[in-house]
Amino acid sequence: MANTGALSGKNAIITGSTSGIGLAIAHVLASKGCNIMVNGMGDKATIDGIIAELPKKYGVKTIYDGADMSKPADIRNMVADCEKNLGSVDILVNNAGIQFTATVEEFPEEKWDAIIAINLSASFHAIKAALPRMRKRDFGRIINIASVHGLVASQHKIAYVAAKHGIVGLTKVVALEAAEANITCNAICPGWVHTPLVQKQIEDKAKEGNISVEKATANLLGEKQPNKRFVKPENIGAIIAFLCGEDGAAMTGEILTIDGGWTAQ
């Protein structure tokens, strides 16, 4: 049965949507009637399961593109394939990201290059490919998943912090350049979200400090996030759904935090 939700008939690309925040966003947008292009890494069975689940649960079209976010040509082809197979590119959610931690002096140059490529440059390449298509249809919603680290810094995250600060700036420029069209560009800056990326950081801290994972989790939240609770991925999805609908049409160039009070300190 076709979905007749608030975003019915819209088509969205969500990068890094085979797990974590991206997958939650896919579920929320699909629940509003949006067709989804899933992108990301994972084993075939997991990806096939996602592609089967979304249509069955929400009555929307769902396709997959395995574009490597470090390769501009792959990104351009992904955007073109979305238009070819779904009919348009109405919504672009730039979510894909990777992480690595080390001091500046010890930070491997290849890790810097990879993080900048995937966490920052990939968003530029996707937006550049999608914008002309959005202009032709006089509609577009671009949402960049930045981070609280796009606003403040933490030690040992030089590439991640630099990339996320870059996403904030990129968002504002795109918003200004598309301001007179029916196209918006906004960024969301989450605090700690319990994703596989964050879980690995917790386990690394537990090992480094010779403490339990539970204690490392409490330390992680207590150090930065005053409410001491993880942000829920579906809450991020709900904000994106709002931004993509009519009620969010006047919001562009906004940098929205959802961080449990992190940046209020």
SS (H, E, C) the chain: CCCCCCCCCCEEEECCCCCHHHHHHHHHHHHCCCEEEEECCCCHHHHHHHHHHHHHHHCCCEEEECCCCCCHHHHHHHHHHHHHHHCCCCEEEECCCCCCCECCCCCCHHHHHHHHHHHHHHHHHHHHHHHHHHHHHCCEEEEEECCHHHCCCCCCEHHHHHHHHHHHHHHHHHHHHCCCCCEEEEEEEECCECCHHHHHHHHHHHHHHCCCHHHHHHHHHHHHCCCCCCECHHHHHHHHHHHHCHHHCCCCCCEEEECCCHHHC
Mean pLDDT of 35-39: 98
Residue 198 pLDDT level (bands cut at 50, 70, 90): confident
pTM: 0.95
Question: In degrees to the nearest 10, what's the CA dihedral of 116, 117, 123, 126?
Answer: 170
Q: Is 111 exposed, middle or buried (0-12, 13-18, 19+ CB in 10 A)?
A: middle
Tokens of 50: 């996602």
Query: Considering 58, 160, 192, 262, which one is annotated as catalytic?
Result: 160
Long-range contacts of 79-83 (CB under 8 A, 24+ apart): 79/13, 79/126, 79/129, 79/130, 79/133, 80/129, 81/37, 82/11, 82/13, 82/37, 83/133
Domains and CATH numbers, the chain: 11-191+232-259 (3.40.50.720), 192-230 (no CATH)
Confidence of residue 201 (pLDDT cuts 50, 70, 90): confident
Q: Residue 236 — very low, low, confident or very high, per pLDDT cuts 50/70/90? A: very high
Confidence of residue 184 (pLDDT cuts 50, 70, 90): very high
Identify whether 64 is a catalytic site residue: no
Q: What is the mean pLDDT of residues 109-131?
A: 98
pLDDT at 4 over 80: no
Q: How confident is the model at residue 96 (pLDDT cuts 50, 70, 90)?
A: very high
* Mean pLDDT for the chain overall: 96
Can you tell me the distance from the alpha carbon of 12 to that of 201, in angstroms, rounded to the nearest whole number?
Answer: 30
Average pLDDT over residues 217-229: 94
Classify each residue of 60-74 as buried b or exposed e, where b means 16 or more C-beta atoms within 10 Å of its C-beta: bbbbbbebbbbebeb
